């Protein structure tokens, strides 16, 4: 829905705060935030080339060195966890594997159906695990950025763009 790029004032890093339309699960829970905020951080060198990539993956920050080329991030269906492209599934934190989240898509079908009572959303992820783990629909970010700011603490900027009910996750890796 919305995207904000925040440049750190003293470190060579840019935080891309992404506000997704909705988290697939828990939409029926009263006072649920009707959005899902995720963050991708890109570290760059003196030439502006990306050299590090951090992504927010369900409470953990994943990090990989990046080879000075276009940054690519895989985004999980329904929960929007972000993975550096080509992350090996076995390297994910225990209990937060792609397989576990895929199983949740099936175990959570009643949750998805209840969510339809309060807002539009999917009835299921009706594909195989191979399809769940296949990140094949590219979405460019550059044309979707609403605001670019420079701040060590991006809270005021994010609140003004996302509104008061965003997730307020850690601003920097």
- Each residue of 92-135: pLDDT tens digit? 888 888 888 888 887 777 777 777 777 777 777 788 999 988 88
Confidence of residue 168 (pLDDT cuts 50, 70, 90): confident
Q: What pLDDT was estimated at residue 105?
A: 80
Q: What pLDDT was estimated at residue 23?
A: 61
Angle at 150 between CA 165 and CA 138, to 5 degrees: 70
Question: Is there a contact between 122 and 140 (Cβ–Cβ < 8 Å)?
Answer: no
Domain count, the chain: 1
- Each residue of 47-80: pLDDT tens digit? 999 999 999 898 889 999 999 999 999 988 767 7
Residue 10 has pLDDT above 70, yes or no: yes
Residue 169 domain-assigned? no
Confidence of residue 138 (pLDDT cuts 50, 70, 90): confident
- Each residue of 16-42: pLDDT tens digit? 998 876 666 666 666 665 557 889 999
Residue 125 domain-assigned? yes
Residue 141 has pLDDT above 80, yes or no: yes
Residue span of the structural domain in which 123 resides: 2-162
Residue 21 domain-assigned? yes
Cα four-point dihedral sign 98, 125, 105, 82: positive
- What global pTM score does this model have? 0.84
* Distance (Å, whole) CA 105 – CA 39: 22
Residue 168 domain-assigned? no
* Distance (Å, whole) CA 36 – CA 34: 7
Q: What pLDDT was estimated at residue 24?
A: 61
Residue 130 domain-assigned? yes
Those residues whose C-beta lies under 8 Å from the C-beta of residue 138, and which sit 6 or more positions away, are none
Greater pLDDT, 163 or 35 = 163
């Amino acid at each position: 829905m919305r995207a904000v790029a925040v440049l750190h004032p003293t470190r060579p890093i840019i935080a891309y705060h992404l506000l997704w339309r909705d988290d697939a699960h828990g939409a029926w829970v009263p006072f649920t935030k009707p959005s899902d905020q995720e963050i991708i951080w890109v570290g760059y060198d003196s030439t502006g080339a990306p050299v590090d990539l951090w992504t927010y993956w369900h409470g953990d920050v994943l990090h990989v060195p990046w080879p000075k080329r276009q940054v690519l991030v895989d985004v999980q269906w329904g929960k929007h966890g972000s993975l550096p492209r080509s992350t090996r599934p076995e390297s994910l934190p225990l209990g937060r594997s792609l397989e576990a989240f895929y199983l949740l898509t099936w175990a959570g079908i009643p949750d998805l159906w209840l969510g339809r009572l309060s807002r539009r959303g999917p009835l299921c992820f009706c594909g195989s695990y191979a399809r769940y783990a296949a990140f094949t629909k590219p979405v460019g970010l550059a044309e979707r950025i609403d605001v670019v700011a420079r701040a060590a603490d991006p809270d005021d900027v994010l609140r003004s763009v996302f509104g008061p009910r965003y997730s307020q996750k850690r601003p920097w890796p």
